[in-house]
Amino acid sequence: MSQTGVKFEVIPSNFEESRVQLPPVKLVEYFAYMKAKDVSESIKEEALVIGSDTVVYCDEIMGKPRNREEAFCMLAKLSGKQHLVISGVSIINTATGESLTEHESTKVKIKKLSKDEITSYINTGEPEDKAGAYAIQGLGSLFVEKIQGDYFNVVGLPIFRLRKMLEHFGVKLI
């Protein structure tokens, strides 16, 4: 967000993500909206509240690994394959209640990984708290063979889509 030049404040949502049976696109849109809704209900002044959620999809939805073993399984599953990174973004205008929710998808191909590479990467601690157990903006970039789509979406916030959505609310970034 700081790249956009927009003044903002980070307010963590208290929305509890739970296992919901939805297709990946609908899931990230739902979680993004619920996070934005939770925060918007606590805001007293007029504001645009942005919520987002990102998952990795490779035959199944991969969120953040709960432990080292789950991180290993995720990275082994992504090894040598193409997957989708899907982010949902939701904006709520606290003054009017108007909302807009959309998503962005990016294809990412991970190189074939050895067990040692996966273990070494997990030992860095970087896979913790990352959808799909890797960070394209960090050491995980060493495994990315190819990307098709919005790089910033893979980082976790599709800036170009967000720009278009903010324009819907009358916010011009440039």
Whole-angstrom CA distances from 130 to 14, 83, 96, 106, 167 are: 19, 15, 34, 16, 29
The catalytic residue positions are: 53
Q: Give DSSP secondary structure letters for 113-166.
A: --HHHHHHHHHTTTTTT-GGG--TTTGGGGGEEEEES-HHHHHT--HHHHHHHH
Q: How far apart are CA 55 and CA 62, in angstroms?
A: 6
Q: Number of C-alpha atoms within 13 angstroms, CB side, residue 153?
A: 24
8 Å CB contact between 114 and 160: no
Measured between alpha carbons, how far is 62 from 164 in angstroms, rounded to an integer? 27
Two tokens at 1?
Answer: 């967000």
**Which letter does DSSP use for residue 148 in this model?**
E
